[in-house]
Chains A and B, each alone.
Chain A
Amino acid sequence: MDRSIRFENVSKSKNGVSIIKNMTMTIPGSLFFALLGPSGCGKTTLLRLITGLEKVDSGKIFLGNIDITDMPIHKRPINMVFQNYALFPHLSIFDNIAYSLSIKKVPKEEIKQRVLKIATSFQLESQLYKKPSMLSGGQQQRVSIARAIIEGPQVLLLDEPLAALDFKLREKLLIELIDLQSTLNITFIYVTHDQEEALTVADQMAIINGRGELEQMGTPKEIYEFPNSRFVAEFVGNTNILEGRVKSHLEQQHLVTHLGTFSLDHEKIGPWAINDVKALLVIRPEKILITKRSQTGFSNSLKGKVLSIIYTGRSTFYEVCVDSTLIKVFEQNDEHVEKEEIDYEDEVYLYWQKENTLTLEGIC
């Protein structure tokens, strides 16, 4: 069974405002897929188009090879978990979970067995005869997930399902969701604006920009390590971006910026990078070494003054001012070797290897 979802030239506008413009994208089947984008970029609209709660203006949507563009909502083998749980308040937890089965007129005994089975695996067996309002947020979201998967859909859509929960619970449920996806082996499409969540859960992910266009698709590692645009680089994770012009000299490219000249990794650079072309240098904060002592063996270096220090327990986040430009540096607090004390206003050296950076074509 092909459980992929394919958009073909899908456009959608609401109240005259275009939300999704001519989108073509294939969401691979039977994987945990994350849709990541800023608030209001049309990710929720994409989900609603897949469920059929909203109709496309033009274009087609396929589930595997089946055209589901005009299929009625209740006939689609696609279920959705909503952000605010949306449990039926007048029904017990049992009846909530059993809803889709009882609609299909499954025999009572079978319903009972299936509900009990799924409730046990979601640790809800003692809550079955309570009303939704008596449950905690995490339990309510578990119920709504159980309710959505009990009839065995091909695709499960999750619209920021954990946004309303506290951090600890969110982490726990994320792991449960990953397990659930690999047991059920159906397509999960997880919409979020939280990049850490997306990077954690996804097998594959897509980044959508504020205009509702697909920016990049790939594995979390590809997205994080090799963003193909400034938007993706800045949206996923923290990053430093330096603008400048390329200078080629004997197989070695350099970027001339207002902070100085930096060497680039010519293996990762495209053929576009000829002399005098505008380019962006992307350096992730954790790829930079911060130290008060001068070091050797690094291909690039900067010197600056520490402006702020944010200590978060297992890591420390520095902002270093280099010629009125802020460079972000991230340091793990692993005490394998003795660390030097870095304080506010300290003069520090920043080092990085050119292999750990990325160069993007600059559009200025």
Chain B
Amino acid sequence: MLTLLLEKTRVKSLFKSLSLSFIKKEGIKTLCSSAIIWQILFFYFPLLFLFLRSFSSLDGESLTLSYFKEILTAPYFKVLFNSLGLAFITAVASLSIAIPLMVFIVFKTNKWKYPLLFLLIIPFWTNFILNIYAWFFILEKNGLLNQFLLYLGIIDRPIHFLYNPFSTLILMVYYYLPFVALPLFSALERFDLTLYEVSLTLGAGKYKTLSRIVFPMIEKAIIVGFFLVFVPAFGEFLVPEFMGGDKIYYVGNVISLYLLGGATAGVGIAFATFSIAFLLIASSCIFLIFRLLFQMLQGGINDQP
């Protein structure tokens, strides 16, 4: 009897899965599984290969730690901290521009908020190299910025904006801003302005309301945005390559230099592995600091039993 019932439901579910819901449920599964297969084949697999390769000798016959020995010398550490600094400053700068900008766009521009968001994303659809060249026009010695400042009389000689950490940072923030702006936009859009008003009527000033109510409620978006910038910025090599002026080395440049150098590929791979580990540790530390900061900001009584 029971088996019959089971059989019946199985037939039923078979019919169901053949109907429209098949496309809805099973279709998504198929799509997802193909994406996962792709991810495994072309991401995790090469990553594993890279990891193994960093422990094997050039001819691939014996295990070795010689690459790691080489990169444990001082200059490589300096490169890691250069990248860490650049990534951190880029992420913090992007956040400090994006938060007020997005608050303004979401709450103050009414019907213009989507067009403005669109404008922010447009440069993203242009090839990045083109973007970099556009910035050359602005930052070079006779570029727009210098001419503008000369015209206003703020400076009397052109300033060297290009080929230094300054121009690198400008381009980094320019490129990574949408990564942090988009999560903030959606979080702020979901924010109920009544809560802001309630807080004001309950005696909190504007800044207290921001730190106690608004920031804690968009905390996740801030953290997500930060890491969406921080992680890729850590490995960025195009911007320093074009804008850095060969004075400061970053992780991305060193890896590409070694990997393309033929005989030194082993060190490059080992360095890449090492950087990933370094990035993981640095990210975890920063994440913990974030959580602590937000808890301090909120300053609630949090009187759990």
Contacts and interface: CB of A to CB of B under 8 A. Distances in A.
A80 B201 contact: yes
A53 interface: yes
A111 interface: yes
Contact of B195 (A52, A88, A95, A151): A88
Interface in A6-55: 51-53
Nearest to A72: B205
Interface in A92-112: 92, 94-95, 98-100, 102-104, 108, 111-112
B217 to A, nearest CB: 6
A124 interface: no
Contacts of B301: 94-95, 98, 102, 108, 111-112
B217 A86 contact: no
A16 to B, nearest CB: 15
B300 A78 contact: no
B156 interface: no
A103 B206 CA distance: 12
A185 interface: no
Q: Interface extent on B, as a size class?
A: 20 to 34
A208 B197 CA distance: 25
Given A90-B216, A95-B300, A95-B301, A147 B202 contact: yes
A62 interface: no
A90 B217 contact: yes
A91 interface: yes
Contact of A79 (B201, B212, B217): B201
Interface in B122-169: none
Contact of B305 (A98, A108, A129): A129
A100 B203 CA distance: 6
A84 B216 CA distance: 21
A73 B305 contact: no
B36 interface: no
Nearest to A99: B202
B194 interface: yes
Interface in B239-258: none
Interface in A306-332: none
Contacts of A98: 300-301, 303
B117 interface: no
Contacts of B59: none
A271 interface: no
Interface in A137-167: 147-148, 151
Contact of B202 (A79, A84, A89, A94): A79
Interface string B277-305: 00000000000000000000001111111
Greatest chain B CB density within 10 A among A84, A102, A148, A151 is at A102
B79 interface: no
Nearest to A73: B200
Contacts of A75: 203
A226 interface: no
A211 interface: no
A117 interface: no
Interface string B194-219: 11011111111100100011001100
Contacts of A148: 201-202
A82 interface: yes
B180 to A, nearest CB: 21
A292 interface: no
Contact of A151 (B203, B212, B299): B203
A159 to B, nearest CB: 10
Interface string B57-86: 000000000000000000000000000000
A74 interface: yes
Given A51-B201, A91-B300, A95-B302, A103 B208 contact: yes
Contact of A82 (B198, B203, B217, B300): B198
Nearest to B305: A129
B212 to A, nearest CB: 8
Interface of A: 51-53, 72-76, 78-80, 82, 84, 86, 88-92, 94-95, 98-100, 102-104, 108, 111-112, 129, 147-148, 151
22 contacts: A51-B197, A51-B201, A52-B200, A53-B201, A73-B200, A75-B203, A76-B201, A78-B201, A79-B202, A82-B197, A86-B194, A92-B304, A94-B301, A95-B301, A95-B303, A99-B202, A99-B204, A102-B301, A108-B301, A129-B305, A147-B202, A151-B202
Interface of B: 192, 194-195, 197-205, 208, 212-213, 216-217, 299-305
In order of increasing CB-CB distance, the 6 nearest A-B pairs are A100-B202, A73-B200, A86-B194, A103-B204, A86-B198, A95-B300
Given A52-B200, A74-B204, A79-B201, 13 more contacts: A75-B203, A86-B192, A86-B197, A86-B198, A88-B195, A88-B217, A95-B300, A95-B301, A98-B301, A100-B202, A102-B300, A111-B301, A148-B202
